[in-house]
Structure 1
Amino acid sequence: MTDGEPGPFVYTVPARRALADDVHDAVLGLLMDQVIEPGSRASIDGIARRLGVSPTPVREALARLVSDGLVAKKALKGYTAAPLLDSDGLRELFEMRRLLEPYATRSAAGEIDPETLDLLDQLCEDVHRSGEAAQTGEDRFKDYKEFANQDAEFHRLIAAHSGNTLLEDAIVRLRSHMHQYRIYFKHGVVAETLREHEAVVAALRARTPAEAEQAMLDHIDKSYERISEDADYTAA
């Protein structure tokens, strides 16, 4: 499907919960699952009919998704779904991550408090549990949404303790997790991600900035390799 008209998958907003956040999550699912095809028009009326809501919350949801880089708005043309990252776009995204996140992790190593370290440990457990559950699904966004959100929160929490609010904001604004999971979620990624996250937390807990920086750099490099070398992504 190209514009949010009804298709093989059912995306609905629960009755009595047709609020902005619910509609936003539903539209996000349409984009992440490519039901609204990359590069195609995102019809406000078509999406509203699919979800059984008025056009107003759909319009608000699309406006929010512009800031995530998943939707673009063009004068006189309305909203369109952003195209998938090509190989150059993917490389540039990860180059930015390599510049920002290892430094943020190094900066956090001497500042992060025990409570936050415990929270990062919990996030590792949560990522593993939700990721395992996702692998029993259909590789649709509803199946791995929790995993993606927890993965993003892990990185955000470290950036938040870097001592640099501009750096934290830059990392969050990349919205890298949404972009990479839009093109890639594969069985096997969960165990690898868990090991890499645990290495980062161990270095942070040991208060060894250089090791923390290297652990995050290794994680980002391996994440890039998993996507860029995947045959399905190359074909896409």
Structure 2
Amino acid sequence: MLSALESEGLLTKEALRGYSVTPVLTAGQVADLYQLRLLIEPWAAARAAERITPGAAARLRAELAGVPQAPQGTRYEDYHDIAAHDARFHDLLAELSGSEALRESLRRTHCHLHLFRIEYEGRRSGEPTLAEHARIAEAVTAGGAQAAESAMRDHLTAARDRFLRRGPTA
């Protein structure tokens, strides 16, 4: 179990000392991670739009319907649903793109972004996130590759900016 957390980058192991928790990402690391996502996820959204089937479109719509409104509170319980939706939504788009490498990459980075959100974001970006996800899903389900790519790029840029406005300055 500890080695699995280490492989996810959540723990570090030191010889003869044991394990310690990896620190929350810095603002620079978050910006770097979003730069990577901006390189691959817009492509994935476009690819998902090109490959969309009626069944896949139904899955995307069902995911959006599962979180019809943003949570209003700031408790972890309020935040949990939107965070879980965010992970599922991006994973579903990666799956629909046909890229298992992209899915694995997102899985490995999502936990770090989640921890950063808990620490700094104040858990108040649900409404814009849901609206951005709806725009992406609309483009993907319509089979509009260029629109899907653009919507994903806009979403990731806005999400990065929301993160960095609330995060540490280092």
Is TM > 0.5 for Structure 1 vs Structure 2?
A: yes
Give the counterpart of 2:99 among 164, 176, 182.
164
Pairing of 1:41-190 with structure 2 (within 5 A): 60=1, 62-129=2-69, 131-132=70-71, 135-138=72-75, 140=76, 142-175=77-110, 177-186=113-122, 188-190=124-126
Provide the C-alpha distance between the structure 1 equivalents of 2:154 and 2:74, rounded to a whole number of angstroms.
Answer: 28
- The answer for the alignment partner of 2:134 in structure 1 is 198
Provide the C-alpha distance between the structure 1 equivalents of 2:150 and 2:117, rounded to a whole number of angstroms.
Answer: 23
Q: Which stretches in structure 1 are left out of the alignment for 5+ residues?
A: 1-59
**Alignment RMSD:** 2.1
CA contact (8 A) 2:51 2:96 kept: yes
Provide the C-alpha distance between the structure 2 equivalents of 1:108 and 1:180, rounded to a whole number of angstroms.
Answer: 28
- The answer for the alignment partner of 2:155 in structure 1 is 219
Q: CA deviation at 1:110?
A: 1.2
Q: CA deviation at 1:185?
A: 4.0
Report the identity percentage: 31
CA contact (8 A) 1:148 1:181 kept: no
Q: CA deviation at 1:145?
A: 2.3
Q: Considering Cα pairs closer than 8 Å and 6+ residues apart, tell me whether 1 or 2 has the greater RCO.
A: 2
Higher share of residues assigned helix: 2
Q: Which stretches in structure 2 are left out of the alignment for 5+ residues?
A: none
Q: Which amino acid aligns with 1:136?
A: G
Q: Which amino acid aligns with 2:44?
A: A
- SS at the partner of 1:73? strand
Q: CA deviation at 1:187?
A: 5.2
Q: Deviations over 1:91-135 (max 9, x none)?
A: 111111111111111111111222222222222232344x41xx3
Q: Which amino acid aligns with 2:42?
A: P
- The answer for the alignment partner of 2:145 in structure 1 is 209
- SS at the partner of 2:97? coil
- SS at the partner of 1:229? helix
Provide the C-alpha distance between the structure 2 equivalents of 1:208 and 1:78, rounded to a whole number of angstroms.
Answer: 50
Query: Cα distance 1:146–1:73, how it changes in 2: closer, same or farther (>3 A)?
Result: farther
Query: Cα distance 1:81–1:143, how it changes in 2: closer, same or farther (>3 A)?
Result: farther
TM-score, normalization by structure 2: 0.87
Q: Which amino acid aligns with 2:35?
A: E
